[in-house]
Amino acid sequence: MNGRLVLAGAPIGQAGDVSPRLREVLGEADVVAAEDTRRLRRLAADLGVEITGRVVSYYDQNEVGRAKELVETLKEGRTVVVITDAGMPGVSDPGYRLTHLAIEAGVPVTALPGPSAVTTALAVSGLASDRFCFEGFPPRKTGDRARRLAALAEEERTMVFFESPRRLANSLEAMAEAFGAERRAAVCRELTKTYEEVRRGGLAELAAWAEPGVKGEITVVVAGHTPGEGEPDLDALVAEVDRRVAEGTQSKLAIADVAKGAGIPKRELYDLVHRRSATP
């Protein structure tokens, strides 16, 4: 008889946000697979729960091999609980591979809903929440990040991102270039924790705020594209580039400065300028 895989949502800040069901399952599971076993022990102590089952580590670097081991445990009829440091397993956290293998093996999979940084940030952002998409962490490399964001420039749904505090300013600057300097956004820091902070404003404004550095867990919510709204006057931008070049500014620098000021991708303005100059 197959066992049961339980994906357990962990609190994103306040231990008191957990459900009675999480306390119950942690105390009864045969195996608890934790992203960080030390954090799990602290959470259990905060909740007053004694974990009687076997505790194993389950994180990004060992997920592939450990998932195969856990599927065999499930096939033996045991209950395995997966819990990450915060939020729901499988959502930018380990969990997907084990879930996929368990389903393939015919093992029942269920979840204990819990706090989510994605929906919490969306709710407090003040931006449209009727339709949204979760984009996870933007790519770390500058070029990869620019390409990913450029592909989202006309996404009409509200977008939710995770980001490292060390890369936040750079990502916000890249978003301002891809989506427009005035595109509305909210940076949510340390949600539900003692020093919770939500900063709302245009992307360029938020990038400037983040430049000196921030700390904590970060979730970024960005308004979707509204067709026709705030569209730049491309003819005027080309004319401004031409004016600056005529005054002695290098074409590449003029295009970069004008594009940044207008909140449009440099590549878009570059292509337009060169198409216009090639036209007889």
Of 71, 95, 115, the residue that ends a domain is: 115
User: What parts of the chain have a pLDDT lower than 50?
Assistant: none
**Per-residue pLDDT at 131:** 96
Say yes or no: 139 and 217 in one domain.
yes
**Per-residue pLDDT at 228:** 64
- What CATH number is attached to the domain comprising 85? 3.40.1010.10
Cα separation of 266 and 237, whole Å?
11
**Per-residue pLDDT at 276:** 75
Cα 72 versus chain centre, distance: 32
**Per-residue pLDDT at 168:** 98
Say yes or no: 94 and 169 in one domain.
no
**Per-residue pLDDT at 199:** 97
Which helix (H) or strand (E) is 189 found in, with range? strand 184-189
Helix (H, G, I), strand (E, B) or coil at 125: helix
Tens digit of each residue's pLDDT (9 = 90 or more) over 160-206: 999 999 999 999 999 999 999 999 999 999 999 999 999 999 999 99
**Per-residue pLDDT at 264:** 77
**Per-residue pLDDT at 15:** 87
Longest CA pairwise span in the chain (Å):
79
Q: Which ranges of 131-195 would DSSP assign to H, the alpha helix?
A: 142-151, 168-179
- Does this model's pTM top 0.85? My answer is no
Cα separation of 184 and 168, whole Å?
16
Packing angle of the helix pair 168-179, 203-210 (nearest 10 deg) = 160
Domain ranges, residue 175 = 118-222
Cα separation of 234 and 232, whole Å?
6
Neighbours of 63 (CB within 10 A): 20
